[in-house]
């Protein structure tokens, strides 16, 4: 009972946050502008439109996760609204879970809204629309669940500004973690153990590029196919995301559990 | 510099300065500056009445009202407005100063072009090219900058390439630069075949070296092995013959190889999932391949022959194209027979040490895989029904029908060249074909007026107008100003067997 | 619910040491605190700013974790979340979600307390009426005054009728009428059998309503027990006032009295014992005055507090 109550309350609070609407408006604007950029291209107009739209949705849903997620816990502590809540028979993990699920719900609504506008716009402009786009958007959502978990982790341990900085770094660097393996390949001849070590480090990093199937989705959509990637790959990426998010939340709980408020 | 010139130069500079200063932007700037300064100055002189401790108060009616006194109430706001305005203008002028130093992205191209031009003045092409490459974003770094959105990076490169193509001030190295951009685009999004195909078309338009473009297509094909459009486009690169006759055969061969691969896969696809579209595509490619095979040399004639036979017998193929395919089949079949006989002659020479006296003993040898029509003496005939020519002294084998076909084309070309000669010599024809040859060689000697493929194909690279493809000198009527063909070169006689093929024989 | 024979709150050697970091000094928040709050009483928890009152309360409601010792609420360790079923808590200067209305806030906390919808609705109406917030039930909290927030804070604390109510500075910032209301609520809670544990600076309020108090200073309890047992009842001074005395006063009283003055109508004398008061009375009457006032001052809680905290 506690978790859904806090989750719904968090959702209500998030949808009142002006930053959400600012980001949504910018997201929609970028989707609309994608057509203009497609126009200046000779060939590939639909592909460019779809590319830009998916990337805009990815970027702005990421911003929502970062801006709203990083202040989530700290704001409660700072304003002391958390005191009255935790004085009830509510465990701290229930509080965290409620906050997380509330933001996840907010993200889902925002994503669905952006997706609906995007798909309608594509259809209106005569660009192909297939179920493959749904795959990309699903993995986009899973990626944001991971980013939100990162935001909550930092939010429960530091100030909003520092949380925002760290979460943003994770969001962008998570797309590029493969360079760690590339770096390891450089050492292959001189220090082979270094290559193995770096690969091990890579396996534990939040590898957000796992959720990036935008390239495959765009090509599948242009070819009017309904599957960008096989179902088992989709499942693997989804389960990876959910597991990683859960692990992060558990770490957040460990940090928050014995924190003196 | 002379004194007058110096004075003139100074006047020009001065005129430019005043033209700039009286520009509307400058006028607006100075008006704004004057207004803000005026506000600030005025606020210094406006009276302000203030209670011992409290806000400014308005003059009372008894004290007498005046503008100065009334404005005094707003002294602080006036001063603030003036100061803010001056600060804003300061920022505006500093911004202009910075922009002049650094320029805009749109100006970047001009500055870059200037720098490259300076570099090209004293550096070789390779170094300049390397400098230009440095300006382009490198593959891996683009993947990082785009935060893994490589599809978007590919779109960016595609748009950039269009700027390169359309920009008129980029001269030189356009092909190399575009190739680099397209290769990076392929790295970013290997499966964007539509862009790869368009890129190939652009590159082939810029660069006569089709092999370089073919290498680009091969890279794309390696990344998209299941795609059929890419090998088709690679083949199409070589359909238009080059000016250089020596390359023509190689071009035709490459085209035939590419198209054969596409055909084989299309046919498999057609067996699995028949479609009208694929069926039409197969027929069109077969027709093209058949013709190209005729120009590709021995080893390719059989492929061409089979394809042309298929087209000629296909009742759904348009009649005109069937007729053309049938005629080409005759040529292909004759060439196959001549090639096989030539090979048999070579084997005989290798075994016996000399060429055979005639072709009759060799016919039996090759008959197993070949339908060989024979005359009453048992000598082989080509598909046209003409005897296969054989010179026991040199061992050369040739199809008379094929030679006659070439002679028809060559005669037409020579007669057109005679027309050119007449235009240049007041309507007078050349007195002999040697004179015509000298004229033609001189006519096509200019680098801006090279002989086209039709001319070189018919006459050879040396533009021989004296000896016909039949191996004999042309029959030239100096009075009429045209070359004549022997009777057997009459098309109705030459291609009579084509009709039989179409009728179903 | 725990047995009421148990102390409502019990602490044993409770200690809290703040360890801010590498270079800052450790700070002692609490040290060896032993408390026992009997059920059904009003317990006042007094101390200066920074003495450890809020730290103690936060430990009791699970917001902070003691570094030593233990605390129980109705026999259950405070670290067990089930202990918080039996308590209602109002923080100092309560703050809630600005966008929720008063009624929504109470519903929210009612849900967290496990109340069903019907009970929540009933209790919300009751509490809003009791605290005079009916008109503001549908007004967002951002438009509430401090007093209204304080009242709402108290409402959410007692929404589920907990056996123990912990209030941190419930009367701070309230006007005299607001303080009176809160005092009446606290008294009514005790009358209903609930235990109230509250911290306060306003000693007069504590003196009026508390059954027991504990005074804490620099993290340690310096005094604890029923008020009447803490205040010795010793007379600190007696004031007398008489009429009919001339302006120059009564010379005999100059040496005896701590202070004497004439306000134009009455002559006032202040002496530091009851014996001296009798002597002063006799002297005034002998001087021809009529005694109008004789009033002993016993040690107040504030004076006691100042004495035990060593200021």
Which ipTM value was assigned to this complex? 0.84
Kindly state the average pLDDT of the residues C68-88. Answer: 90
Confidence of residue C299 (pLDDT cuts 50, 70, 90): confident
Q: Please tell me what DSSP assigns to residue A132.
A: H
Mean pLDDT in residue range C62-68: 91
Q: Show residues of chain B in contact with A37, CB under 8 Å.
A: 159
Separation of alpha carbons A37 and B228, rounded Å: 29
For chain C, the chains sharing at least 3 beta-carbon pairs closer than 8 angstroms are A
CATH number of C235-308: 3.30.70.980
Better-scored residue on pLDDT, B120 or B150: B150
Tell me which of B130-134, B147-151, B318-322, B361-365 is least confident.
B130-134
B137-151, B348-362, B389-403, C93-107, range with the lowest pLDDT: B137-151
Is the Cβ of B191 closer than 8 Å to some Cβ of chain A? yes
Helix segments in chain A, DSSP class H: 2-15, 18-39, 45-79, 81-86, 92-124, 132-155, 160-173, 178-186, 192-204, 214-222, 231-257
A194 within domain boundaries: no
Token representation of residue B312: 């000629």
Report the alpha-carbon distance of residue B21 to residue B27 in Å, rounded: 7
Q: Residue B264 domain-assigned?
A: yes
The verdict on B285 and B372 lying in the same domain is: no
In this predicted structure, what is the pLDDT of residue C2?
44
Same domain, B393 and B424: no
Identify all chain A residues contacting B189, using CB atoms and an 8 Å cutoff.
215, 219
The answer to whether the Cβ–Cβ distance between C112 and A258 falls below 8 Å is: no
Residue C82 in contact with partner chain A when CB distance is under 8 A:
yes
For the entire predicted model, the pTM comes to: 0.75
Find where tokens 């009426």 sit.
C129
Shared domain for B217 and B323, answered yes or no, is yes
What's the CATH number for C9-230?
3.40.50.300
A202 within a domain of the structure (yes/no)? no
| Most confident residue range from B362-366, B409-413, C199-203 | B409-413
Question: Does the pLDDT of residue B99 top 50, yes or no?
Answer: yes
Residue A33 lies in a domain: yes
Q: Which of C81, C111, C156 sits opposite A84 (nearest CB)?
A: C156
Name the pLDDT band for B169 (thresholds 50, 70, 90): very low
Find tokens 């600030």 and name the residue: B40
Chain C residues inside the 8 Å CB shell of A81: 95-97
Query: What is the domain range of residue A116?
Result: 2-175+212-257
CA distances from C233 to C228, C271, C298 (A): 8, 17, 6
Is residue C103 helix, strand or coil?
helix
Domain assignment present for B207:
yes
- In a domain, residue B505? The reply is no
Distance CA(C156)–CA(B128), nearest Å, equals 78
Whole-number Å distance between alpha carbons of C268 and C293: 9
Would you say residue B124 lies in a domain?
yes
Phi/psi class of residue B430: alpha, beta or left (left: φ > 0; alpha: ψ in -120 to 50)? Answer: beta
pLDDT at B50: 57
Q: What's the CA angle centered on B361, arms B359 and B366, to 5 degrees?
A: 85
> Residue C38 burial (CB < 10 Å; 0-12/13-18/19+)?
middle
CA A164, CA A68: separation in Å to the nearest integer? 9
d(CA A244, CA C173): 47
Domain with CATH 3.40.50.300 in chain C: 9-230
Please count the other Cβ atoms lying within 10 Å of the Cβ belonging to residue C59.
27
Quote the pLDDT of residue A11.
93
Residues C7 and B495: their CA atoms lie apart, in Å, by 121
Taking CB atoms and an 8 Å cut-off, how many pairs form between chains A and C?
A: 71
CA distance linking residue B289 with residue B260, whole number of Å? 7
Model confidence band, residue C1 (pLDDT cutoffs 50, 70, 90): very low
Across-strand partners of C267? Answer: C242, C262
Domain check: are B289 and B207 in the same one? yes
The set of residues, in sequence order, having a beta carbon less than 8 Å from that of A203 and lying 6+ positions away, is none
- Single out the residue of B41, B45, B35 nearest to residue B69, CA to CA: B45
Q: Taking the alpha carbons of B420, B423, B427, B430 in that order, is the dihedral positive or negative?
A: negative
Q: Are residues B341 and B296 in the same domain?
A: no
In a domain, B73, yes or no: yes
Residues 174-213 of C with CB under 8 A from A: none
| Cα distances (angstroms) measured from residue C111 to each of A88, C68, C121, C123, C305 | 10, 33, 11, 12, 41
Q: Is B500 a domain residue?
A: no
Strands (E) in C74-151, as ranges, are: 76-77, 87-90
Locate the chain A residue with the closest alpha carbon to B140. Answer: A179
Are the Cβ atoms of C112 and A81 closer than 8 angstroms?
no
B423 plus B483 within the same structural domain: yes
For residue B67, what pLDDT is reported?
79
Q: How far is CA B465 from CA A195, B405, B460, B462, in A?
A: 72, 16, 9, 9
The pLDDT confidence band at residue C55, using thresholds 50, 70 and 90, is very high
Report the Cα–Cα distance between both ends of chain A, in Å, rounded: 24
Q: How far apart are CA B297 and CA B316, in angstroms?
A: 30
CA atoms within 13 A on the CB side of B472: 11
Residue B224 phi, psi (nearest 5): -135, 70
Residue with tokens 């004075």: B7
**Residue B14 CA: distances (Å) to CA of B10, B17, B22, B189:** 6, 5, 12, 55
CA distance C60 to A173: 43
Question: Is A17 inside a domain boundary?
Answer: yes
Indicate if B81 and B164 belong to the same structural domain: no
Residues B260 and B367 in one domain: no
Which ranges of chain A have pLDDT less than 70?
Answer: none
Instruction: Examine the domain organization and report whether B327 and B359 are in the same domain.
Output: no
The maximal CA–CA distance of chain A, rounded, in angstroms, is 64
Any chains having at least 3 CB pairs less than 8 A from chain B are A
The phi, psi pair for B359, rounded to 5°, reads -90, -5
A201 inside domain? no
Q: Which residue has the tokens 């997201």?
A: A27
* Angle subtended by helix axes B105-122 and B125-135, to nearest 10: 160
Q: How do residues B2-45 score in pLDDT, each as one tens digit? A: 777 777 777 777 766 666 655 667 778 888 888 989 988 888 88
Spell out the residues 6+ positions from residue B436 whose beta carbon is closer than 8 angstroms to its own: B414, B417, B418, B421, B430, B465
Distance from C-alpha of B9 to C-alpha of B75, rounded to nearest angstrom: 50
**Distance separating alpha carbons of residues B36 and B30, to the nearest angstrom:** 10
A192 occurs within a structural domain: no
Tell how far CA C110 is from the center of its chain: 26
Asked whether residue B497 is domain-assigned, the answer is no
Task: State how far the Cα of A101 lies from the Cα of A152, in Å rounded to an integer.
Answer: 11
User: At C165, is the pLDDT very low, low, confident or very high (cuts 50, 70, 90)?
Assistant: very high
Residues of chain C with CATH 3.30.70.980: 235-308
Instruction: Assign B75 a pLDDT band (cuts: 50, 70, 90).
Output: confident
Longest dimension (CA), chain B: 144
Give whole-number Cα distances, C289 to B131, C259, C271, C285, in Å.
116, 18, 17, 5
Asked whether the beta carbons of A155 and A73 are under 8 A apart, the reply is yes
Best probe of the A interface among B141, B149, B195, B199, by most A CBs < 10 A, is: B149
The Cα-based distances of B485 to B327, B455, B472 in angstroms read 19, 18, 11
**Unique residue bearing structure tokens 């060439």:** B335
Domain identity same for B280 and B193:
yes
Residue A206 lies in a domain: no
Contact A213/A139 with Cβ under 8 angstroms? Answer: yes
Distances (CA, A) of B67 to B40, B47, B62: 17, 10, 15
User: Residue A215 and residue B151: Cβ atoms within 8 Å?
Assistant: yes
Q: Locate A160 and state its tokens.
A: 């909003």
Same domain, B180 and B44: no
> What SS3 state is found at C31?
strand
Q: Percentage of residues in chain C with pLDDT exceeding 70?
A: 96
pLDDT above 90 as % of chain B: 15
Of A75-84, B72-81, B272-281, B433-442, least confident by mean pLDDT is B72-81
Angle at C174 between CA C170 and CA C179, to 5 degrees: 70
Spell out the residues 6+ positions from residue B154 whose beta carbon is closer than 8 angstroms to its own: B185, B188, B189, B192, B195
Closest CA to A84 of C166, B462, B43: C166
Q: Decide: residue B501, CB within 10 A, 0-12 exposed, 13-18 middle, 19+ buried.
A: buried
Least confident of B139-153, C151-165, C176-190: B139-153
Q: From CA B341, how far away is CA B333, in angstroms rounded?
A: 12
> Which range, of A163-177, B125-139, B148-162, B262-276, averages the lowest pLDDT?
B125-139
B27: in domain: yes
Given a cut of 60, whether residue B465 has pLDDT beyond it is yes
Integer Cα distance of B399 and B390 in angstroms: 9
How far apart are alpha carbons B278 and B438 in whole angstroms? 51
Q: How many domains is chain A built from?
A: 1
Nearest 5°: the CA angle A81, A82, A83 is 90
Instruction: Write out the residue range of the structural domain in which residue B40 sits.
Output: 3-99
CA of B151 to nearest chain A CA: how many angstroms apart?
5
Size of interface A-B (CB pairs under 8 A): 59
Per-residue pLDDT, B60: 56
Are B325 and B339 part of one and the same domain?
no
Residue A42 with chain B: CB contacts under 8 Å: 162, 198
Based on the structure, what is the number of domains in chain B? 4
Backbone torsions φ then ψ of C20, nearest 5 degrees:
-70, -30
Query: Under an 8 A CB cutoff, do B149 and A43 touch?
Result: no
Q: Are the beta carbons of B149 and A37 separated by less than 8 Å?
A: no
Tell me which residue of A178, A181, A179 sits closest to A198, measured CA to CA: A181
Pairing between β-strand C68-73 and β-strand C9-18 as defined by DSSP bridges: antiparallel
């Amino acid at each position: 009972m506690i978790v859904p109550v806090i989750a719904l309350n968090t959702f209500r609070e998030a949808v009142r946050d002006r930053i959400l609407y600012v980001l949504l408006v910018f997201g929609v604007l970028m989707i609309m502008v994608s057509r203009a950029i497609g126009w200046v291209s000779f060939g590939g107009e639909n592909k460019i439109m779809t590319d830009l739209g998916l990337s805009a949705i990815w970027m702005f849903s990421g911003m929502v996760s970062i801006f709203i997620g990083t202040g989530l816990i700290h704001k409660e502590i700072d304003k002391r609204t958390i005191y009255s809540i935790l004085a009830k028979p509510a465990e701290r993990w229930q509080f965290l879970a409620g906050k997380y699920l509330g933001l996840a719900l907010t993200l889902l609504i925002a994503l669905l809204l952006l997706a609906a506008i995007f798909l309608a716009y594509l259809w209106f402009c005569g660009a192909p629309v297939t179920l493959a786009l749904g795959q990309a958007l699903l993995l986009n959502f899973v990626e944001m669940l991971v980013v939100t978990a990162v935001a909550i982790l930092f939010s429960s341990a530091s100030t909003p500004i520092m949380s925002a900085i760290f979460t943003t770094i994770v969001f962008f660097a998570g797309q590029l973690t493969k360079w760690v393996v590339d770096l390891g390949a450089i050492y292959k001849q001189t220090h082979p153990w270094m290559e193995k070590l770096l690969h091990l480090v890579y396996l534990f990093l939040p590898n957000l590029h796992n959720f990036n199937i935008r390239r495959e989705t765009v090509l599948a959509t242009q070819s009017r196919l309904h599957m960008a990637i096989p179902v088992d790959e989709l499942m693997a990426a989804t389960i990876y995301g959910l597991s990683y998010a859960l692990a992060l939340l558990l770490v957040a709980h460990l940090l928050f559990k014995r924190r003196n408020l | 510099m002379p004194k007058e010139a110096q004075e003139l130069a100074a006047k020009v500079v001065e005129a430019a300065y005043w033209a700039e200063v009286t520009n509307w932007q400058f006028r607006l700037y100075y008006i704004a500056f004057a207004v803000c300064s005026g506000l600030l100055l005025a606020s210094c002189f406006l009276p302000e009445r203030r209670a011992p401790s409290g806000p400014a108060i308005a003059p009372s009616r008894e004290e007498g009202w005046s503008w100065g006194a009334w404005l005094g109430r707003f002294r602080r706001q006036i001063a603030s407005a003036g100061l803010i305005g001056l600060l804003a203008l300061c920022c505006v002028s500093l911004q202009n100063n910075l922009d002049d130093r650094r320029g805009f992205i749109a100006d970047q191209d001009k500055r870059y072009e200037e720098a490259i031009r300076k570099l090209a003045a004293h550096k070789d092409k390779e170094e300049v090219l390397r400098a230009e490459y440095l300006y382009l974003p490198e593959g891996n770094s683009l993947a990082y900058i785009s935060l893994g959105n490589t599809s978007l990076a590919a779109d960016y490169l595609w748009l950039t390439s269009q700027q390169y193509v359309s920009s008129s001030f980029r001269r030189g190295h356009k092909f190399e630069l575009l190739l680099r951009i397209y290769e990076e685009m392929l790295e970013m999004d290997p499966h964007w075949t539509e862009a790869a195909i368009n890129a190939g078309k652009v590159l082939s338009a810029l660069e006569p070296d089709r092999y370089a473009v073919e290498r680009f297509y091969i890279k794309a094909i390696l990344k998209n092995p299941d795609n059929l459009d890419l090998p088709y486009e690679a083949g199409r690169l070589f359909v238009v013959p080059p000016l250089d006759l020596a390359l023509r055969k190689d071009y035709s061969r490459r085209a035939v190889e590419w198209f054969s691969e596409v055909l084989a896969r299309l046919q498999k696809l057609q067996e699995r999932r028949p479609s009208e579209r694929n069926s039409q595509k197969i027929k069109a490619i077969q027709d093209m391949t058949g013709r190209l095979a005729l120009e590709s040399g021995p080893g390719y004639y059989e492929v061409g022959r089979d394809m042309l036979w298929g087209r000629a017998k296909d009742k759904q193929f348009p009649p005109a194209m069937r007729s053309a395919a049938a005629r080409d089949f005759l040529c292909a079949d004759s060439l196959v027979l001549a090639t096989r006989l030539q090979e048999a002659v070579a084997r005989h020479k290798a075994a016996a040490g000399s060429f055979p006296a005639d072709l009759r003993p060799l016919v039996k040898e090759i008959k197993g895989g070949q339908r060989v029509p024979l005359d009453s003496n048992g000598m082989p005939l080509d598909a046209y029904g003409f005897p296969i020519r054989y010179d026991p002294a040199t061992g050369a084998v040739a199809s008379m029908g094929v030679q006659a076909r070439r002679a028809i084309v060559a005669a037409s070309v020579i007669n057109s060249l005679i027309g050119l000669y007449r235009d240049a010599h007041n309507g007078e024809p050349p007195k002999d074909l040697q004179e015509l040859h000298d004229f033609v060689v001189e006519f096509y000697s200019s680098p801006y007026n090279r002989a086209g493929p039709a001319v070189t194909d018919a006459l050879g690279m040396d533009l021989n107008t004296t000896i016909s493809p039949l191996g004999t000198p042309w029959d030239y009527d100096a009075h009429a100003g045209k070359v004549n063909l022997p009777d057997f070169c009459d098309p109705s006689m030459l291609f009579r067997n084509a009709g039989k093929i179409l009728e179903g024989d | 619910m725990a047995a009421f024979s148990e102390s409502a709150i019990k602490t044993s050697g409770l200690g809290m040491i703040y360890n801010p970091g590498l270079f800052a000094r450790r700070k002692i928040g609490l040290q060896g605190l032993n408390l026992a709050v009997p059920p059904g009483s009003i317990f006042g928890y007094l101390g200066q700013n920074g003495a450890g009152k809020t730290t103690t309360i936060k430990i009791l409601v699970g917001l902070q974790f003691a570094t030593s010792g233990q605390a129980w609420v109705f026999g259950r360790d405070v670290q067990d979340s089930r202990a918080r079923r039996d308590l209602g808590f109002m923080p100092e200067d309560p703050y809630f979600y600005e966008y929720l209305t008063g009624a929504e806030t109470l519903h929210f906390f009612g849900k967290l307390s496990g109340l069903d919808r019907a009970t929540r609705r009933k209790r919300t109406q009751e509490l809003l009426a009791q605290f005079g917030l009916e008109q503001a039930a549908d007004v967002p909290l951002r438009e509430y005054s401090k007093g209204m927030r304080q009242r709402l804070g108290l409402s959410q604390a007692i929404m589920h009728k907990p056996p123990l109510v912990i209030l941190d500075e419930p009367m701070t910032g309230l006007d005299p009428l607001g303080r009176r209301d809160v005092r009446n609520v606290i008294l009514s809670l005790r009358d209903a059998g609930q235990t109230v544990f509250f911290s306060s600076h306003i000693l007069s309020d504590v003196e009026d309503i508390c059954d027991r108090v504990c005074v804490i200073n620099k993290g340690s309890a310096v005094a604890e027990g029923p008020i009447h047992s803490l205040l010795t009842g010793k007379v600190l001074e007696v004031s007398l006032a008489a009429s009919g005395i001339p302006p120059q006063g009564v010379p005999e009283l100059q040496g005896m009295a701590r202070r004497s003055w004439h306000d134009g109508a009455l002559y006032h004398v202040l002496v530091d014992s009851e014996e001296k008061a009798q002597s002063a009375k006799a002297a005034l009457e002998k001087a021809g005055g009529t005694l109008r006032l004789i009033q002993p001052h016993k040690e107040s809680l504030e004076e006691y507090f100042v004495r035990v905290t060593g200021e």
